[in-house]
Amino acid sequence: MAALISEIVYRGIFQKNLASRIARGIVLSARKSGRWGIAFGRYGDSPQRNGIPAKDFAIVADTNEELEQNMARYEPKHVDITVCVDDTLAKGVESWAWYGLQPINRLTVPNGTVLMTSLQSVGELLKDIHRRDAPYKLALIRAKASFSGLWVYKEDHTEVRVLGALAKIAPAFLSLDGVSQAIAEMEWGSDLKVASARKAYERLETRDVKPTEGNAEIPYSFEMPKWWEMREGVTIPAIPVGKPKEDGKGYVPERNPYFKKFTTRTMRPVVNFDTCVKCTLCWIQCPDSCFDVMPDGTYDANMEACCGCGVCEAVCPVENCITMVNESVFEDNASQWEMWRKDKDRYRSWMAEKIGDKKATVRSHGFRFRGQYEQELVADLDQGGVEITAGIPGENAQHKTV
């Protein structure tokens, strides 16, 4: 008599299909040993927004009654396994529905597992992952985040590698044979994908994490008002007008205290204040009004508000003045402008290091040139999955015909 509860934490839209495949894969794999299951997305995450953290859940149980026992919740309050398919989510998760910032391991039970796809070291990841009051395991699949879109899917085998890894983590529920069988039968499965799942099973890296390890920062949260405290007529106070940065100069807008949005970010802009021509384009075009106007007329991207969309980089007329860099190489949300003002030489070398790292400036979503998809796919699979010699890795062809 037992149940296994898993959550899959992912980037809205970019990883929607990936997460859904994993959740369904868990249930269908467990069904191979007669288990019951249910797969669902967190309704409050929908409609999804690009990159905004979202969750799917999969619950499997020995009996239908036990399944109901664990389903009798809007969403699980505890999970045995947290699957995280983008390591920048290690910094925390904030749904668009004003939930506050939640550590990635918040729902993971004591001695449970956080399974992550990442190329970072455990040490680097633990700078981001918040501390837990109980020990847990950090299991890593060596792969970069698999991003695609609502209508396209990146066939880099991430979904089956996660399923293979889960067979290692929870063999009582998901046998490797059961997982393999389910993958082979799934409409998006294939023998090649079964081989990738088995490789992930063998290669999984697992490390115990102690309660003393991790990011000591207390994540921001807020109290929700009582019904009689809320203003009537479905009205909320407007965000107040902002203030000058200092000495009557510059401008810093006030922002929504209930939704900071920065965990949406997989990349952040790094600004070269020396070459900024103060043209205002980044400030005007930013869809999230994340730029603060500095007293000298330059623009500082506020890292509590930036969603990392990259529009500023696209509209900036000065070459290399704004460069998008992968979020994982940053450790805090401190102001770049303040760092620059304090010590310009130090800032320049810091900036050169960040934008000079070619791995970190590869876009996490979208492509810069035609053919990049095929190129990345081969590289990804050589690294962790099965080598592809021709074409796109196959799906079960018979399911494609009517």
Partner 1 sequence: MAVATRPAPAAAEDKELLISGSEAVAEALTLADIDVVTAYPIRPYDTVMQAIAKKIANGQLVAEYIVAEGEHSQFEIVKHASTVGARVFCGSSGVGWAYAMECLVVTPPLRVPMIALVGNRALDDPGAFGVEHNDALFVRDLGWLLCWIDTSQEALDTTLIAYRVAEDRRVFLPLAISADGAFLTHSQALTLVPPKEKVDRFLPRYNRGDLLLHPDNPITVAPQANEDWVIEIRRQNNEAMARAYTVIEEAYAEFRRVFGRGPENPWFEEYMTEDAEVILVGMGTISLPIKVAIREMRAKGRKVGLVRLRWFRPFPTDRLVAALSGAQALGVIDRDYSFGSPFGSGVVANEIRAALYNAARRPPLLSFICGLGGREVTLEDVYKATEMCYGAAKAGKSDPKTHWLGVRE
**What six digits make up the tokens of 311?**
């529009």
Collect all residues with Cβ–Cβ distance below 8 Å to 370 and sequence separation of at least 6.
Answer: none
CA 53 distance to own-chain centroid: 6
> Over the range 269-279, which residues count as b (16 or more CB within 10 Å of their CB) and which as e?
bbbbbeebeee
Q: Which of 36, 273, 299, 347 is close enough to bind partner 1 by CB under 8 A?
A: 36
354 neighbors 331 (Cβ within 8 angstroms): no
Position 241 contacts partner 1 (CB under 8 A): no
Position 43 contacts partner 1 (CB under 8 A): yes
Collect all residues with Cβ–Cβ distance below 8 Å to 238 and sequence separation of at least 6.
Answer: none
Closest to partner 1 by CB, 66 or 288: 66
Position 151 contacts partner 1 (CB under 8 A): no
Position 46 contacts partner 1 (CB under 8 A): yes
Position 226 contacts partner 1 (CB under 8 A): yes
Closest to partner 1 by CB, 35 or 91: 35
In the bound complex, what is the minimum distance in angstroms from residue 375's beta carbon to partner 1? 31
- Report the site for partner 1 in 64-83 (rule: CB under 8 A): 64-65, 68-69, 71-74
Q: Which of 123, 152, 216, 224 is close enough to bind partner 1 by CB under 8 A?
A: 224
Closest to partner 1 by CB, 172 or 390: 172
Collect all residues with Cβ–Cβ distance below 8 Å to 343 and sequence separation of at least 6.
Answer: none
Closest to partner 1 by CB, 139 or 176: 176
Position 172 contacts partner 1 (CB under 8 A): yes
Residue of 101, 50, 51, 95 lying closest to 75 (CA atoms): 95
Q: Which of 221, 227, 387, 390 is close enough to bind partner 1 by CB under 8 A?
A: 227
In the bound complex, what is the minimum distance in angstroms from residue 315's beta carbon to partner 1? 31
In the bound complex, what is the minimum distance in angstroms from residue 231's beta carbon to partner 1? 12
The whole-angstrom separation of Cα 274 and Cα 117 is 37
Position 369 contacts partner 1 (CB under 8 A): no
> Over the range 296-310, which residues count as b (16 or more CB within 10 Å of their CB) and which as e?
eebbbbbbebbbbbb
In the bound complex, what is the minimum distance in angstroms from residue 20's beta carbon to partner 1? 9
- Angle CA(23)–CA(154)–CA(97) in degrees, nearest 5? 55
In the bound complex, what is the minimum distance in angstroms from residue 278's beta carbon to partner 1? 39
Three-state DSSP at 296 gives coil
Contact residues for partner 1, defined by CB under 8 A: 2, 23-24, 27-28, 31, 33-41, 43, 46-47, 62-65, 68-69, 71-74, 172, 224-228, 234, 402
